[in-house]
Structure 1
């Protein structure tokens, strides 16, 4: 890989940030497919492919907002303002994608490895979208723990809703992230 290619990859990684206000355009079907392919190359012990994605079509956003409200109520939230507010979350971006983790019992691949694999898949997905010129916000919250929400998605109780990914174009540029002092997070092992 050339020095320029390495620099481009690292710039994409270093510049990725969650952006809350997203507008059209969203990725085309072909651009989204490219991002899904990138996601599914994540490290995956025994190739179990625990990650699944569900695209929320634009025409279904209102119904999805209703489901989010019902799911939040299912978690015990009773405050009407919160239940009403979550109905509008699907309209924060022109495209929403759910990331799911379908856990499998395997003698050599514990659930935590499958969860980490799914997280790596989501990161690849976000980086691919950014490389194509789009911005994202990866959210979760109490709603992802809802049994009702899991049932509506055809998941078992042990499966995970790894997050809701909001996708679109940033309204404005955001400041670069603060420089990271790597030495605060990395050390040498000593016996």
Structure 2
């Protein structure tokens, strides 16, 4: 049976999953631009454009890993082994993209809405890449709270590194996901005051 375009879109969403170790190929510029275009359709109250992306290319991964390890110095009592693990993290995929949230003070758009906007943008980005045949994982960890790292990325202390997205291809057979029951996650609102009045 041939799936309709609507079915294909839903199947892509239902089968989205994170993959930890990724290899070449990574998306080319055209494929990546397509994913960024999808990302930037995310809801954005008053069009403040809080989301920014930074690409870490394959050639820059070790340099970025060094920055990550330096940034861990912002935290007390860090295990040196953890610092080395963080240094090696960028080598887990051929391409990394950082999702940043630059906050704007606005009377009608609280900061949390701007953070949620970036979250929606990242989800669109992941789904677009998956539809093009790539795998991803969205990571954070303590290092994204580092002011050293924020400064290196041109952010203010109050801004957010909302994720480090690892991108590539997997040859691992991914198990078909079936755990999509809505049971326990959906309810119908009742106005208890009105019910009592009756």
Shorter-chain TM band? over 0.9
Superposition map of 1:102-117 within 5 A = 102-117=102-117
Give the distance between the partners of 1:187 and 1:16, measured in 2 at CA: 25
| Distance apart, 1:124 and its partner CA | 0.3
Match of 1:17 in 2: 17
Give the distance between the partners of 2:130 and 2:16, measured in 1 at CA: 7
Match of 1:184 in 2: 184
Superposition map of 1:51-130 within 5 A = 51-130=51-130
SS at match of 1:54: strand
SS at match of 1:129: helix
* Moved >3 Å (runs of 4+): none
| Distance apart, 1:77 and its partner CA | 4.6
Give the distance between the partners of 1:71 and 1:123, measured in 2 at CA: 26
| Distance apart, 1:176 and its partner CA | 2.4
Confirm or deny: 8 A CA contact 1:77 1:83 kept in the other structure. no
Gaps of 5+ in 1: none
Count of aligned pairs: 189
Gaps of 5+ in 2: 192-198
In the TM superposition, what whole-angstrom CA distance separates every residue of 1:59-81 from its partner, at most 9, and x where no partner exists? Answer: 21111001111112212253111
Confirm or deny: 8 A CA contact 2:97 2:164 kept in the other structure. yes
Give the distance between the partners of 1:72 and 1:47, measured in 2 at CA: 34
Match of 2:153 in 1: 153
In the TM superposition, what whole-angstrom CA distance separates every residue of 1:36-57 from its partner, at most 9, and x where no partner exists? Answer: 0000000111111100000002
SS at match of 2:54: strand
SS at match of 2:128: helix
Confirm or deny: 8 A CA contact 1:101 1:115 kept in the other structure. yes
Rg larger in 1 or in 2?
A: 2
Give the distance between the partners of 2:106 and 2:124, measured in 1 at CA: 24
Match of 1:175 in 2: 175
Give the distance between the partners of 2:42 and 2:65, measured in 1 at CA: 30
- Bigger shift: residues 149-158 or 3-12: 3-12
| Distance apart, 1:183 and its partner CA | 2.3
Give the distance between the partners of 2:24 and 2:64, measured in 1 at CA: 19
Confirm or deny: 8 A CA contact 1:22 1:169 kept in the other structure. yes
Give the distance between the partners of 2:41 and 2:180, measured in 1 at CA: 27
